[in-house]
Amino acid sequence: MKALLSVSDKTGIVELAKQLKELGVEIISTGGTQKVLREAGIETTDIQQVTGNPEAFGGRMKTISFNIESALLFDREKDKEEAGELGIEPIDLVVCNLYPFEKVLKQGADFETLIENIDIGGPTMIRAAAKNFKYVTVVTKPEDYPGLIDELQTNNGTTSYEFRKQLMAKAFNHTADYDALIAQTMDKETGKKSVRLAFEEGKQLRYGENSHQQANFYRQKGVDKSLFDIKFLHGKALSYNNILDISGAIASVKELEQEAVAVVKHSNPCGLSQAGTQRKALEKAWQGDPISAFGSIIAFNTPLTLKTAQFFDLTNEDRSKRKFIEVVIAPEIQPEALAYLQNHKNLRVLEYSPEDLPQHPDYRLVNGTLLEQDYDGKLYEKLEVVTQKAFEADKKLIAFGIKAIKNIKSNAIVIVGRKDDEFYLMGMGAGQPNRLVATELALSKARDFIKQDFEGKEEDFEDFYRREIANAYLISDAFFPFADNVELAAENGIRNIVQPGGSIRDKSVIEACNERGVNMVFTGLRHFKH
């Protein structure tokens, strides 16, 4: 058996070569690889003895030759006689990885250095060996070396067809990714915009948006962190909608402080809170919309404790008192909490840290096109009080409210409040084509939220409501096109409004605030989420 070793990444190559030698394999190698192997005392055949030609042009020509490619490509059955006549001896194993184009690109190399790190002979050998995988084994990654040795030892110095087939697929993916990165880099160098995305490790989901639709889930290649890395601890398989809601839930707590909890339904947080304790944060988040919380996704930004998990009341003999939720996700599920959650056999229990949620550019496929945008990482450009009345804005509450509205589908309105170190979403209106309707929905939910805190006589509720709502902030994801939102909010007791500003009718909106004693703050930054 003959093996050709030509690697840029020398990781593990000496150990591999030693084991190949023990198996009686003849090793052919190229310049840098040969030097490393010989320094380790491993005898190799110089590739020039196979090609019949010297290495030339500063190493640009080494392996490309009729002899090398023929040794890899000829059909061991049909072409055996012809190969003998041509003096071609088969090469049965290729171990090759490519010039480090990606590495030097990340290091900020100049254009000439990038060009010199475009491999030509390597991809040619890899593709030739992969094409002829029926007879030839091709290995492109050091992590596959142990499997190769195991295979050779198990099969008396040969490899199985299925093993070669698996490595063949890896090889073509390796060269495809390599060429895609080069092509995209060269497009950028010539002033063109292009994106080449690749995904792998696809797995089937329970179903798609609806039960009659099939769905799959893939990991994006080349990213260090991915939502694909969710750790599944318990429950039913995930569906397409679960993944979208989980993403929205994790994003909703990612930027929050203290102990934070999001209650998400149909990708929108209907409950959101941060507080000094995890249990209190969950209670206030649930209070945001207890009805919509039915069948929701619950995300935490800290390890989930048993005390918090017991809020769901999963062991109550009265089943109607148990809180039905679809998914619980936290950076860590403490063992006692997991055991408790497992009382609900179908509840999906997952581990994933919000810190690991990537902030890569957002991509969206739209009918044969691709949209790309930067991650929405800003909160506001300014906090400018534009109304007449002297007013000191609660910057922490505004920040909390904007972090909430960034994760709610537009048109969006949120009403947020705080008590000491507790911050909470009191009501929201999401995904409305009419901003006034979104305001109506948010006000209605805020009234329900406040009612849950009221313990007095029914006839005294309105006064209690007015006191509470007066300290809340109504935040809009975009400017108010008309004064009607201000009029509605003021009628319902709102005294603080935050919006980006920028409408041609800003003046009339501000006047409506001044007439009603409402404070208004302009942020200068919109947060649409479509």
What six digits make up the tokens of 412?
């969006």
Q: Tell me: do 61 and 170 sit in the same domain.
A: yes
> Which ranges in 117-193 belong to alpha helices (H)?
121-131, 145-154, 161-189
- For residues 68 and 125, is the Cβ–Cβ distance under 8 A? yes
pLDDT recorded at residue 456: 87
Q: Tell me: do 129 and 277 sit in the same domain.
A: no
pLDDT recorded at residue 60: 83
Question: Is the pLDDT reported for residue 18 higher than 90?
Answer: yes
DSSP 404-456: HHTTSPSS-EEEEEEETTEEEEEEEE-S-SSHHHHHHHHHHHHHHHHHHH--S
- Sequence-distant contacts of 117-120: CB under 8 A, at least 24 apart: 118/182, 119/8, 119/178, 120/60, 120/64
Secondary structure of residue 389 in the 3-state scheme: coil
Q: Which residue has the tokens 């052919």?
A: 28
Question: Is the pLDDT reported for residue 308 higher than 90?
Answer: yes
Q: Tell me: do 415 and 511 sit in the same domain.
A: yes
Q: Tell me: do 410 and 483 sit in the same domain.
A: yes
Domain membership of residue 200 (yes or no) is no
Q: Tell me: do 284 and 151 sit in the same domain.
A: no
Residue 522 host element (H or E): strand 519-522
Q: Tell me: do 413 and 348 sit in the same domain.
A: no
Out of 189, 214, 241, a domain closes at 189
Cα atoms found within 13 Å of the Cα of residue 388, Cβ hemisphere only: 10
Q: What is the pTM of this model?
A: 0.86
Reported as a single tens digit per residue, the pLDDT across 284-306 is 999 999 999 999 999 999 999 99
Sign of the dihedral defined by the CA atoms of residues 151, 152, 153, 158, in that order: positive
pLDDT recorded at residue 9: 92
Cβ atoms < 10 Å from Cβ of 165: 12
Q: Tell me: do 235 and 324 sit in the same domain.
A: yes
β-bridge mates for residue 496, sequence order: 519
Model confidence band, residue 85 (pLDDT cutoffs 50, 70, 90) = very high
163: left (phi over 0), alpha (psi -120 to 50) or beta: alpha
Question: Is the pLDDT reported for residue 357 higher than 90?
Answer: no
Q: Tell me: do 395 and 247 sit in the same domain.
A: no
Where in the sequence is the domain holding 297, given as residue range(s)? 228-356
**Angle made by CA atoms 386, 392, 397, in degrees to the nearest 5:** 100
Cβ atoms < 10 Å from Cβ of 374: 10
Rg (CA), the chain: 31
Domain membership of residue 110 (yes or no) is yes
Domain membership of residue 373 (yes or no) is no
Domain membership of residue 223 (yes or no) is no
Domain membership of residue 461 (yes or no) is yes
- Mean pLDDT, the chain, as a whole number? 93
| Structural domains in the chain (count) | 3
Cβ atoms < 10 Å from Cβ of 296: 26
Say if strands 259-265 and 231-234 run parallel, antiparallel, or are unpaired.
Answer: unpaired
For residue 48, the domain's CATH number is: 3.40.50.1380
Alpha carbon separation from 311 to 257, 261, 316, 377, 529 (Å, rounded): 21, 13, 11, 33, 31
- For residues 452 and 291, is the Cβ–Cβ distance under 8 A? no
Domain membership of residue 530 (yes or no) is no
Reported as a single tens digit per residue, the pLDDT across 363-397 is 999 999 989 999 898 999 999 999 998 889 999 99
Strands (E), 8-150: 26-29, 45-46, 93-97, 137-139
Reported as a single tens digit per residue, the pLDDT across 397-425 is 999 999 999 999 999 999 999 999 999 99
- For residues 173 and 218, is the Cβ–Cβ distance under 8 A? no
Domain membership of residue 209 (yes or no) is no
What six digits make up the tokens of 154?
């198990």
- Residues recognised as catalytic: 131, 266
133-158 in b/e form (b: 16+ CB < 10 A) is bebbbbbbebebbeebbebbeeeeee
For residue 303, the domain's CATH number is: 3.40.140.20
pLDDT recorded at residue 171: 96
* Whether residue 411 has a cis bond before it, omega within 30° of 0: yes
Q: Tell me: do 50 and 169 sit in the same domain.
A: yes
Domain membership of residue 405 (yes or no) is yes
Q: How far, in Å, CA of 42 to CA of 32, rounded? A: 14
Q: Tell me: do 165 and 65 sit in the same domain.
A: yes
Out of 158, 189, 220, a domain closes at 189
Q: Tell me: do 265 and 131 sit in the same domain.
A: no
Q: Tell me: do 127 and 171 sit in the same domain.
A: yes
Q: Of all residues in the chain, what percent carry a pLDDT higher than 90?
A: 86
